[in-house]
Amino acid sequence: MCGIAGIIYRDESLVGHLGADLAALIQPLESRGPDSSGIALYTRPIAAGQVKLVLRGEAGVDWGAVQDWIEQAVPVLDTHVTADDRRFILDLTQDLPFQVNEFRRALRTAFPSLHVMSLGQGLEIYKEVGAVDNLIQKYGLTTFQGTHGIAHTRMATESVVDIDHCHPFTTNFDLAIVHNGQISNYYRLRFQLERAGMVFETHNDSETIVNYIHYQLLQGKSLEESLEALLHDIDGTYTFLVATPDKVALVRDKFAAKPAVIYEAADKVAIASEYRSLLQLSNFDPNALIREPDAGEINIWPVTTPAQTAAVLSVIGS
């Protein structure tokens, strides 16, 4: 049993509330998952050709050596220190002798005590073992800004409790998932995906979901098509959220075995495992559309630009 939550803002003026709203959503869900918690948030994208690399280091990691190694591979434009993490802004505008995912694997091989949290133009992932308050206090979560994000509280049932096995999971630029449930055909799917070239870093069955979606996207499928294929190919009981730079999706299995509640108002969309979490939202609207998704239902919400936001608010208000 785990807790999942997500937010998509329809009102540009609310982006300063993202960290606080995600924290408010997952605090009540700690009863569903006391072992660890994590967030994936999407800020405004940085300049074209640049990416944010968020790393978590275990005690004793030599950050000076890490930075030297990275700078020998790719130009570093900026470094930001956050608790046990480092956030690097990398310049990918030059011709590089490697693919970015090769760089990620090589970095992890060179420094086994490093954890690659996220890589992307907008995506930043932060995780912490233990109580949700550990995550909030360590990173000053309530100060974070962004357009949308997803979050998780974990109760470990089939794999160890450590940073690598915490949610959210990511495998590619700006792609993240959080999951509640079990994947029954995990080993078969993992074998198939690894043969197709996908890389697994943990023994958490949730990693199958993000690798499956990543693989489908590489085949040229849309997010919608990828999720429809997933419902057909993945067995188990699950509800999960997937986030990209411009969309957030909620998928519920064909048995509706795992809970989810959707809140849709003029200014935001929020999703949580339990209704009581939604009551903690800033500016909670009791007249909002609040519903439970059906079995096998896929919901996808666009992340709106300011111009699109104005149109959405106009339609809702009419």
| Of 2, 5, 230, 249, catalytic | 2
Q: For each of the chain's 318 residues, which pLDDT tens digit applies?
A: 899 999 999 999 999 999 999 999 999 999 998 888 999 999 888 888 898 999 998 888 899 999 999 999 889 999 998 778 899 999 887 776 567 778 888 898 999 889 899 999 999 999 999 899 999 999 999 999 999 999 999 877 776 777 878 889 998 889 999 999 999 999 999 999 999 999 898 889 999 999 999 999 999 999 999 999 999 999 999 999 999 999 999 999 999 999 999 999 999 999 999 999 999 998 899 999 999 999 999 999 999 754 443 333 333 332
Question: Rounded to whole angstroms, how far apart are CA atoms 111 and 67?
Answer: 11
Where would I find the beta strands (DSSP E) of the chain? 3-9, 36-42, 50-57, 76-82, 85-91, 114-120, 123-129, 148-154, 176-183, 236-243, 247-252, 261-264, 268-272, 289-291, 298-302
166 a catalytic residue: no
Alpha helices (H) along the chain = 18-26, 63-73, 100-110, 132-139, 186-195, 206-218, 223-233, 275-278, 306-317
Beta-carbon contacts of residue 200 (< 8 Å; ≥ 6 apart): 190, 193, 194, 207, 211
Question: Rounded to whole angstroms, how far apart are CA atoms 313 and 32?
Answer: 34
